[in-house]
Structure 1
Amino acid sequence: MGGHLYALDFDGVLCDSCGESSLSAVKAAKLRWPWVFELVDATMEGWIVEQMYTLRPVVETGYENLLLVRLLVEILVPSARHSSVSEGLSVQEILENWLKLKPTIMSEWNEDRDSLVDLFGRIRDDWIENDLPGWIGANRFYPGTADALKFSSSEIYIVTTKQGRFAEALLKELAGIEIPSERIYGLGTGPKVKVLQQLQQMPQHQGLTLHFIEDRLATLKNVIKEPALERWNLYLVNWGYNTPKEREEASDISRVKVIDLSDFSRNLK
């Protein structure tokens, strides 16, 4: 047997969803914390959405967008501050210290992950139901990625922290690609390292060359830590939600290959 299996991250590899996720996060944050947004005008809101493009590399799971939006409001509006970390905080400091900041603000705001995940999903569902073209239009596929998927002769799986129904909808509505739902491992299907273990253990995948393409270096590092996943070829894309510093670091890791869009299209076909 021969052939190739590609496990692909979605946001930051196939789809640039930062515009949609930022707008959805603002809508959800307004519902969750209406008192925080009382002094936020349209200009401030525009600034917040702009900063989310800078901060997108720290987001592992969608609900974190809500936390970032509220934290940006606290930076802008002193009277809205309910955390000990927001005073004097810069966007760059959030980018560099998010893993330390997140548990602090979650605790100080008395928030729980599951409620935020549920709210973020409901906001997106409502947007899709009431304005599907608007929701679709707030996303875009990176150049060449949709065609690479359409014409690939490899086994393709989507492995993402995005809720699977949204990835499936975007593939169908924006790219014209129908990937069976059982090939989309979204939020709730377990950590990516566990999904990769499942995929490589499936009888139909024995003998295939395994490839995992990501835009988050931290995720690839987690794979490297697992001896059982040594068969996977690992790739970090240079167009997704990562930083020049992360790409430079990745270039020094022997298991990881940094690729560009042309590499992606060529390999997948």
Structure 2
Amino acid sequence: MTARPLLVFDFDGVIVDGMAEYWWSASMAAQRLHGDPDGLDPHEVPEGFRCLRPWVHHGWEMVLLAAEMPRLDLERWTTDYSAEQAGALQRRGWSATRLQEALDQTRQQAVGTDRDAWLGLHQPFPGLVDRLQALPGEGLDWAVLTAKTAAFTAELLESLGLQPWRLDGREAGPKPEVLLRLQRERVLAGFVEDRRATLETVRDTEGLQGLPCWLASWGYLKPSDREGLPPGIRLIDPDQLAAPLAHWP
């Protein structure tokens, strides 16, 4: 095991703002499934979609949201997201697998036909590229751990000129399991993520209770996510991220 510490970053909502891509791909996949544009503009992200993004756990959910968006009751969805989601799936006769396949096919086609345009839908958060490129100079390596597929993430990292020590995508399994495997190979300096529930699960995992965790304030957060953080999870803002690791909250 090398003594050089490894800092692990989530991708969506931490390194890259993919909101435009989420909506474009989800709305196109929804149209692929039901064959009716239904007034969806793939280039204009609805405010309701932005608001509900923090509730999304898997890519397929965004396709369902896109299909529901023209008639979606935002208050009902934010009050009981799971119930509204289940009802929409049942009403349409769709499954998570079918929705995920439609999303993956849409993205694959976009990359295959106009890679540059698809990549252009993603923008790094201000200062993130420079910050990651500076980490080796501080004696740190960095890795990416994401729920996006490794192939798509690799495309995006390459377009940004970023080369992590390691990239683990959706195929690698749950994030706590991947972190445990990484911990057997490297000394982990911490994990930066924009999903509070994920960080809480990580901290509750046997063997990871002592892992420093930071919640990215610039990510896709629910209004309540910043409040009452449990021990071991700290909110970090862009200015703090820019400071040396020893000065992080």
TM-score range, shorter chain: 0.7 to 0.9
- 1:263 paired residue number: 240
The verdict on how the C-alpha distance between 1:188 and 1:99 changes in structure 2, with shifts beyond 3 A counting, is farther
The alpha carbon displacement at 1:198 in A equals 0.9
- 2:49 paired residue number: 52
The alpha carbon displacement at 1:116 in A equals 1.9
- 2:61 paired residue number: 64
The verdict on how the C-alpha distance between 1:260 and 1:48 changes in structure 2, with shifts beyond 3 A counting, is closer
Q: State the aligned residue count.
A: 242
| Contact 1:23/1:49, CA 8 A, preserved across alignment | no
| Contact 1:48/1:69, CA 8 A, preserved across alignment | no
Distance 1:233 1:96 in 2: 31
Could you say what secondary structure the match of 2:228 adopts? Answer: helix
| Contact 2:23/2:62, CA 8 A, preserved across alignment | yes
Distance 2:189 2:163 in 1: 22
1:116 aligns with 2:99: yes
> Which of 215, 229, 238 is the equivalent residue of 2:217?
238
Distance 2:224 2:195 in 1: 12
State the percentage of identical aligned residues: 26
1:41 aligns with 2:39: yes
Over the aligned positions, Cα root-mean-square deviation in angstroms equals: 2.2
Could you say what secondary structure the match of 2:225 adopts? Answer: helix
Distance 1:64 1:249 in 2: 28
> Which of 121, 127, 131 is the equivalent residue of 1:148?
131
The alpha carbon displacement at 1:149 in A equals 1.4
1:133 aligns with 2:116: yes
TM-score normalised per structure 2: 0.88
Could you say what secondary structure the match of 1:152 adopts? Answer: helix
1:21 aligns with 2:4: no
The alpha carbon displacement at 1:247 in A equals 0.8
String of CA shifts for 1:5-63, please: whole Å, max 9, x gaps.
1111100000000111111100000011124x4xx2367x7776332111111112211
Distance 1:125 1:46 in 2: 18
The alpha carbon displacement at 1:74 in A equals 3.8
| Contact 1:148/1:268, CA 8 A, preserved across alignment | no
1:177 aligns with 2:154: no
In the alignment, structure 2 segments of 5+ residues that lack a partner are none
The alpha carbon displacement at 1:94 in A equals 1.4
1:217 aligns with 2:196: yes
Distance 1:93 1:254 in 2: 32
The verdict on how the C-alpha distance between 1:267 and 1:219 changes in structure 2, with shifts beyond 3 A counting, is farther
In the alignment, structure 1 segments of 5+ residues that lack a partner are 76-89
Matched to 1:176, the amino acid is: G
The alpha carbon displacement at 1:189 in A equals 1.4
Could you say what secondary structure the match of 2:111 adopts? Answer: helix
Could you say what secondary structure the match of 2:191 adopts? Answer: strand
The alpha carbon displacement at 1:97 in A equals 2.1
1:158 aligns with 2:144: yes
